[in-house]
Amino acid sequence: MRDWVTAYIGLGANLGNPAHALHSAVQALAANPGIAQCRASSLYSSAPIDSSGPDYTNAVLKLQTRLSAPDLLVCLQTIELQAGRLRPYRNAPRTLDLDLLLYGDGQVHSPSLVVPHPRMWERAFVLVPLAEVGAPCVDAHMLARVASQPIRRLPP
């Protein structure tokens, strides 16, 4: 059996009830027998990257998994589809977006998956909650580089 690997998942939504969608996604992931020890960050609000649509609600989930990175991606995409995720165009508003940010110390470069997530280092809505759940790869210098991006922690 595969050893447990620490993975970090970025969660986001800006259609419907985003907070409920994120909480439901965390519950769905925690119910998977190949996933354990889920720890979610606080919820944060941020503007869409392309300035269209409502603000996003974002979080990061730290978990332990025995799933391979490709199998974890399939799990994430299944949860997105169950939440009504459509992909009409790049950066379209969405009911749920789940991104595999980090998978242990591993690197994956395939047509369907790139880990570490290639743009995570540029985004406050990823780095701030990622730091909150204790990702050792996020330091004060990285947070300072995205400090000008507006992000607001939502009340519990």
Report the C-alpha gap between 33 and 128 in whole angstroms: 28
Q: Of residues 99, 123, 145, 153, which has the active-site annotation?
A: 99
Select the more confidently predicted residue: 87 or 124: 124
* Residue 3 falls in the annotated catalytic set: no
* Residue 50 falls in the annotated catalytic set: no
| Average pLDDT of the segment spanning 2-13 | 93
Q: Given this model, what pLDDT does residue 91 score?
A: 61
Residue 67 has pLDDT above 90, yes or no: yes
Report the C-alpha gap between 146 and 126 in whole angstroms: 10
* Residue 105 falls in the annotated catalytic set: no
Q: What domains can be seen in the chain, in order of their start residue?
A: 5-153 (3.30.70.560)
| Average pLDDT of the segment spanning 106-126 | 85
**Over the stretch 82-105, which tens digit does the pLDDT of each residue have?**
887 766 566 667 889 999 999 998
Question: By mean pLDDT, which of 60-74, 78-92, 133-147 is the weakest?
Answer: 78-92
Q: Given this model, what pLDDT does residue 156 score?
A: 84
| Average pLDDT of the segment spanning 105-114 | 80
* Residue 39 falls in the annotated catalytic set: no
What CA–CA distances, in Å, run from 88 to 56, 85, 92, 93, 131?
18, 10, 7, 9, 31
Q: Given this model, what pLDDT does residue 58 score?
A: 97
Q: Given this model, what pLDDT does residue 130 score?
A: 96
Q: What is the value of pTM for the model shown? A: 0.92
